[in-house]
Structures are given as structure tokens and as C-alpha cells.
């Protein structure tokens, strides 16, 4: 109100008169004091922030700032990648990544190999004890070269949706990045740093040269073009032979399925998920009810006569009644052994 404003002006005039100053001079003095107080507060905040950053370097969590990797962090990453950390493959964001345990990385940083590497590369930080080893390791998450992860259920979050659950790969963890990047012995970290790309560059150059060579095929010498033609004809012949063999084995199985059940397969592992040479082993096998028993049936076929041979070669006693009894005794071991073979086939 006007009365309050007039009262404030009278108070300012009285305070200025006590200090022997005019009202404008007194106002300028108040402004200077306020500016000094503000600067003092700013300096105090900067000191507190500096102390907070020092405390983080002594083991407290540090913020991850994206940007160019620290040269020291790159040196540590290259050293750890050259060591045997026993990495295992995991799935992160539907991509395969290499994962390792922290205790193996800390052990590598405290090994004599690190001391030897540091004598050649001055960018590697000094490591004297466990604390300095952890500080050197923490350079990796700070530069986004490796991040801490934890195992998650790949089917989590798919309940109530119409799409199918993702297929779980046996032996592969599905992981996610953790918010707190700690360095415990049992924690797992995943590599985001792929290291030197010279192999990929070399492969790219080779692929480019191959494409150029194919494009320049009309300019090849005559003997090279004839050689390529013979090779292509040979590959087509092998492919045709493979399809002919697959058709022949199918026809053979259909014939033997009615003539001699349960049917005979030629090269039973031809389309199985095995190696190239294992695809042609064994040569033949009888059709089995359970998957995977075809490969073991030829062995059982060859061992069954060997088990019954000693019984058939037993001496025959004289007389009709004893002979009948001997025949009964002779058949019991055969039946028992035949049952054992069936059990092996079921397994």
C-alpha cells in the first residue's frame, strides 16, 4: 500500500542518515553486499561439488557420461580382451555378446602380465592393490566399453500378448544392463567394445575384390573360364547325385516298409544336424519308433546274434524228454537277453 511504501522509504532514509550516507549511496551499498553474499554461496557450492567428485573417485558410484572413450579405458579394454577371461556368449537386445565375470578381470589386472604390459604401454593405469584394480576396471563402464548385466527370463513380459514367446537357446543367457555399475567378484559384464576391426576390414576388402573379379569374368583368360565351367559342372553333378540318393533312399524305405517292416533307411543321418562325415554314418539302419534310435540300431543288430550264439552251440543231450527240457532251458536265456536288447533300444 502507499502507506507501507512511504514507511519503507522513511526507514531507508533513517538507516542512510545513521551511516552518514545519502539514500542512493546506501542502496548501492546494499546491492554490493548482496552480490558478495551470492558469490560466497557459489564458491561454497563449487567446493562441495569438488569434494563430492573426490569421494566418487574413492569408491562411490560415478555417473556415466557418454562421449569419446578415455584412452586409458581403451588401453585397459585391449589388455583384458587379450587375456583369457573365459567369456561366454549371452543375448543382449536380441544380439549375441561376450560376457565375463569381474573376478577374472580383476585377477588379470593384478597379474604379472599387466605389469609387463604397463611397462610397454604408459596409458595403462597403475595397479598396486585391489582398490586400484577396481578403479582401473571401472574405466570400462565410464567409457561405455563394458557394462554390468544380469540374467533375466526371456519369456518375461510376454504374458497376455498374441505373439509367440521367444525361443530360448540352450546355454545362452538373456541379460539386461543394470543401473548400478558395481565391481563385485560375482558380477557379470558384457563387452560393448569390439576391439580392433582389422579382420572385418580385411574380409570386406576380400569380398569387394571377389565381386570385382566376378564382374570382370568376360575378361578372364580362356583357360580360367574353362576351369570355372568344369568346376560348376562338377558342383551341379554332385548336387544332382545328392538329390538322386535322397530319392533312392526314400523309395527303398517305402519298399522295405511293406516287404520287411519297420523299413530300412539308407544313410539314416543324412538330414540330421551332424557333421558332414557323420551324415554318412552308419550306412543303413532300421526305422525306429523313437527319434535318434536309427543310428544305434545297426550296432544292436550286430550284437544280438553274438549274444545268442553260445546258447545255440550248447551240447545236445540224448533222449527225447531231456532234449525237450534242454530246449526249454536254452530258450530262457535267449528271451532274457532279447529283452535286455529292447531295453537298450528304448534308452
The domain spans of the chain are 2-57, 71-196, 198-295
pLDDT at 104: 93
> What average pLDDT is seen over the chain?
76
CB within 8 A of 72, min separation 6: which ones?
A: 123, 124, 125, 136, 139
d(CA 314, CA 229) in angstroms, rounded, equals 66
Q: What is the pTM of this model?
A: 0.43
* Lowest-pLDDT choice from 100-114, 187-201, 249-263, 278-292: 278-292
Reported confidence tier of residue 19, pLDDT bands at 50, 70, 90 = confident
pLDDT over 50 at 343, yes or no: no
Please give the average per-residue pLDDT across 277-284, as a whole number: 84
Please give the average per-residue pLDDT across 224-236, as a whole number: 93
Reported confidence tier of residue 106, pLDDT bands at 50, 70, 90 = very high
Neighbours of 105 (CB within 10 A): 24
Percent of the chain surpassing pLDDT 70: 72
With cell 595397479, the residue in question is 127
CB within 8 A of 28, min separation 6: which ones?
A: none
pLDDT over 90 at 164, yes or no: no
Nearest to 151, CA basis, from 138, 165, 168, 136: 168
* Lowest-pLDDT choice from 87-96, 168-177, 203-212, 226-235: 168-177
Nearest to 283, CA basis, from 270, 267, 263: 267
pLDDT at 330: 40
Angle 130-137/102-109 helices, nearest 10 degrees?
Answer: 110
Reported confidence tier of residue 295, pLDDT bands at 50, 70, 90 = very low
Please give the average per-residue pLDDT across 310-319, as a whole number: 42
d(CA 347, CA 166) in angstroms, rounded, equals 31
pLDDT at 16: 80
Q: What phi and psi, each to the nearest 5 degrees, are found at residue 344?
A: -65, -40
3-state helix/strand/coil string of the chain:
CHHHHHHHHHHHHHHHHHCCCCHHHHHHHHHHHHHHHHHHHHHHHHHHHHHHHHHHHCCCCCCCCCCCCCHHHHHHHHHHHCCCCCCEEEEECCEEEEEEEHHHHHHHHCCHHHHHHHHHCCCCCCCCCHHHHHHHHCHHHHCCCEEEEEEECCCCCCCCCCCCCCCCCCCCEEEEECCCCCCCCCCEEEECCCCCCHHHHHHHHHHHHHHHHHHCHHHCCHHHHHHHHHHHHHHHHHHHHHHHHHHHHHHHHHHHHHHCCCCEEECCCCCCCCCCHHHHCCCEEECCCCCCCCCCHHHHHHHHHHHHHHHHCCCCCCCHHHHHHHHHHHHHHHHHHHHHHHHHHHC
pLDDT at 50: 61
pLDDT over 60 at 49, yes or no: yes
pLDDT over 90 at 137, yes or no: yes
Reported confidence tier of residue 289, pLDDT bands at 50, 70, 90 = low
Reported confidence tier of residue 158, pLDDT bands at 50, 70, 90 = low
Amino acid at each position: 500500500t502507499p502507506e507501507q511504501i512511504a514507511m519503507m522509504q522513511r526507514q531507508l532514509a533513517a538507516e542512510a542518515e545513521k551511516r552518514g550516507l545519502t539514500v542512493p549511496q546506501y542502496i548501492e551499498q546494499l546491492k554490493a553486499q548482496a552480490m558478495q553474499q551470492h558469490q560466497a554461496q557459489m564458491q561454497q557450492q563449487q567446493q562441495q561439488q569438488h569434494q563430492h567428485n573426490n569421494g566418487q573417485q574413492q569408491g562411490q558410484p560415478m555417473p556415466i557420461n557418454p562421449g569419446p572413450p578415455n584412452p586409458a579405458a581403451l588401453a585397459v579394454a585391449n589388455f583384458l580382451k587379450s587375456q583369457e577371461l573365459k567369456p561366454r556368449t549371452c543375448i543382449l537386445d536380441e544380439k549375441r555378446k561376450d560376457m565375463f565375470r569381474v573376478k577374472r578381470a580383476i585377477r588379470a589386472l593384478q597379474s604379472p602380465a599387466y605389469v609387463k604390459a604397463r611397462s610397454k604401454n604408459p596409458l595403462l593405469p597403475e595397479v598396486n592393490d585391489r582398490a586400484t584394480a577396481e578403479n582401473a576396471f571401472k574405466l570400462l563402464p565410464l567409457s561405455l566399453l563394458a557394462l554390468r548385466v544380469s540374467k533375466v527370463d526371456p519369456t518375461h513380459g510376454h504374458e497376455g500378448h498374441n505373439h509367440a514367446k521367444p525361443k530360448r537357446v540352450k546355454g545362452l543367457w538373456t541379460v539386461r544392463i543394470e543401473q548400478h555399475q558395481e565391481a563385485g567378484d560375482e558380477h557379470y559384464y558384457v563387452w560393448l567394445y569390439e576391439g580392433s576391426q582389422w579382420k572385418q576390414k580385411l574380409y570386406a576388402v576380400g569380398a569387394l575384390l571377389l565381386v570385382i573379379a566376378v564382374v570382370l569374368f568376360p575378361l578372364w583368360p580362356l583357360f580360367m573360364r574353362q576351369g570355372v565351367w568344369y568346376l560348376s559342372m562338377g558342383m551341379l553333378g554332385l548336387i544332382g547325385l545328392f538329390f538322386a540318393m535322397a530319392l533312392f533312399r526314400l523309395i527303398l524305405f517305402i519298399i522295405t516298409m511293406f516287404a520287411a517292416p519297420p523299413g530300412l533307411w539308407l544313410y539314416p543321418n543324412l538330414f540330421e544336424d551332424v557333421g558332414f562325415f557323420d551324415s554318412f554314418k552308419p550306412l543303413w539302419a532300421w526305422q525306429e519308433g523313437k527319434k535318434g534310435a536309427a543310428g544305434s540300431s545297426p550296432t544292436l543288430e550286430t550284437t544280438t546274434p553274438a549274444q545268442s550264439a553260445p546258447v545255440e552251440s550248447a551240447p545236445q543231450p540224448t533222449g527225447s524228454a531231456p532234449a525237450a527240457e534242454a530246449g526249454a532251458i536254452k530258450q530262457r536265456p535267449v528271451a532274457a537277453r532279447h529283452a535286455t536288447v529292447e531295453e537298450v533300444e528304448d534308452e
